[in-house]
Structure 1
Amino acid sequence: MGSGRRGAPPRFVLRDVSEKNREGKRTARERLAEEREKQKAAEKRRRVLIVGASVVCVLGLAAVIGVVAANAGKDDAEASGPVVAPSGANGEDSLAIPVGDAGATSTLTVWEDFRCPACKSFEDAYRSTIHELTEAGKLKVEYHLVTLIDGNMGGSGSRKAANAAACAQNEDKFAAYHDVLFVNQPAETDDAFAGDSKLIDLAKKVEGLDTSAFRTCVEDGTHTSWVAKSNEAFQKGGFSGTPSVFLNGTNIYADRSMTPAKLKQMVEAKAKG
């Protein structure tokens, strides 16, 4: 009997320890479950941010300040020469490159960055419709070139590609080269367009563009100051990001119901009067 009583307390202690261990395990499981839920929520937020970033290149107030601060000295040094507009540029300060019949009843104004993924998405979706309408003489397009991604991501590919596109305008090959640049757009973080050799190599895809004059224009950065002035106009214009697309002054890129078919319908209705 005595040995049984002496053994009783240890059994009580073991049960107590076991219960504490089970409680500790439950607490640990609860903490692990909570941590997993936090990780899931964080991953979901990350995916939403990535998707949002791929839909539009957002230019908020902080981004504007960042672009100005990041490029304050650099752009002045790189664009210190005279502002040389490409052949045929028009609009205020000759900052627009026109494509299509000047007498067309509708005007599409497009602000684009050759490194911007959302701009490529817009071009891929609307390219054939825009070509159809410009070739029919119903639509003229005024392209404004922007260097937003250079400021946000670093590098000089936006500026170099814009200068090369302006050089192509001198050869009357802007529209074709513009399309080639977007079709061959590198990843947003890849500053491949910063290389003159890359831009010249892509010019070979446009018949008659790879000339000595074009190469010299690209390598010398002939229109660099003009590109900087165009980007300055974009920053001062109060635009929400790239692309910014306006049909006869109305922001159609902000219209979520807009489709290539709807754009065509609007332009053709305008042409009919």
Structure 2
Amino acid sequence: MKKEINIPLILDAVKKAGESFLIDYKKNTIPNDKKELLAQLEAIDEQCLSILKGTLQTTYPDISWNIGDEFDSNGQKQPLPLSEYWLCDAMDGAVQYLQHIPGWTINLALIRNGEIYFSVIYDPLAQEMFWAQQGTGAFMNNEPIQPSTKKDPEIMLAIFEYGHQEPAIPGFNQKHGMSVTSLLDTFGIVRNYGPHGLQLAYIGAGRIDVFLQLGLDTYNWLAGILIAKEAGVEILNKDAQPWKWGDESLLVAAPGIADRFMKNEIKN
């Protein structure tokens, strides 16, 4: 029987990790070449994991760790063959952090039996903690959240994101363009924001109405998917079918909104 999780302990660990990055925020030299960029990204991973593991491995020594590498296409197609493990996106939006701009979070998910059992997303700049446990609802700073109830698409906010496709897929950028056109034809406000997981949490909190991304980006999605789902949001793929691990697209929307988009997607 798996050990029941201590949610306050986990939230505190994630908050501690996030707060540690505020100390040096905007103090790093913005990377000017790929080698420097990769070195700074690696340092972020090491700092975050050191803090998280320092707390969680002591309490949960039997739970393994998987560091979500968004460039690992094969690894993102299915969960690990483990009954339980932490999946950590050490900093979602790390490039923004290194560029001295907002839009970076600490994301952590607990995977049990191939499903997202618990997840947390912490935004240190806003001091907002989004989290959810399977079957118990979603919360922001321990207050329940719920999605938008807007009816007018002219005032709906739609977000389009993209992932890293390696190797490049012929015609993929053209498909992106067609989907952006469908969003523009459907909703009054279309933006690109980042980080991915936080945007999904924002849909759960009613701040964003719809999110669309083509391509495989599972590790960036997982923490936000559970939060959005537990808030009552629709979690689909671009074909409006229920999303499942390994799907190469994600369409997340407040209830009833996906149908509006799909009508224009089919036209295009």
| Fold similarity call, TM over 0.5 | no
More strand per residue: 2
- Higher Rg: 1
TM-score, length of structure 1 as denominator length: 0.26
TM-score, length of structure 2 as denominator length: 0.26
Q: Which has the higher contact order (CA 8 A, sep 6+)?
A: 1
More helix per residue: 1
